[in-house]
Structure 1
Amino acid sequence: MPDPSPHPVTRQDVFAVVRSRILVTLPHLDEANISLSANLRDLGADSLDRIDIVTAAQAELGICLNAEEFTGVANLAGLVEALYAHGRRP
């Protein structure tokens, strides 16, 4: 009998969601430019784009973070870690 519980989300899963949200918001962007060391501003995202990307990623992952939880996030690795850590909370 298959396990009915959902599989845990990995950091790679979170990065895939973030990457897909970036590509939806910035369709002109070459996917090869999206790496964990990149930041949204350098990828061409303005402040509204960044809000859209983060909000859509949270919605897709089924989590909601306060803006304060993104303090100090400098790149996509930091964003992924913030989303991943929040998603693992009980």
Structure 2
Amino acid sequence: MEQALREAIGVVLPTVRPGLVTGDKHLRDLGADSVDRIEIILEVTTRLGVRDPMSSFSDIPDIDALVDRLSQAVRA
């Protein structure tokens, strides 16, 4: 899950160094604007085969929580 998210971040934000992607950060902390955040979510959910609506990812506080949410969606 975490690796797929890191790869999606790398696709959308290629200038972000992988070491900056830590669980306590929000995608905004990495320089992602609202469109970037949507693209990252679309990229990672496509990779993982998750079909949850985008709205289910709107209140995620940080990368750790996003990984948890993705894990729940994959198990569902």
Residue in 2 aligned with 1:72?
59
Q: What is the count of residue pairs matched by the alignment?
A: 76
Residue matched to 2:38: 51
Amino acid at match of 2:5: V
Partner residue in 2 for 1:18? 5
Distance 1:35 1:41 in 2: 12
Change (3 A) 1:71 1:49: closer
- Structure 1, unaligned runs of 5 or more: 1-13
**How far apart, CA to CA, are the structure 1 residues paired with 2:14 and 2:40?**
12
CA RMSD after TM alignment: 1.1
> Deviation of residue 71 (structure 1)?
4.3
Which stretch has the larger CA shift, 16-25 or 61-70? 61-70
The one-letter amino acid paired with 2:51 is C
State the match for 1:8 in structure 2: none
Q: Give SS of 2:30's match.
A: coil
AA aligned to 1:50 is: R
**Can you give the 5+ residue segments of structure 2 that lack an aligned partner in the other structure?**
none
Among the aligned pairs, what percent are the same residue? Answer: 32
Larger helix share, 1 or 2: 2
TM-score (norm 2): 0.92
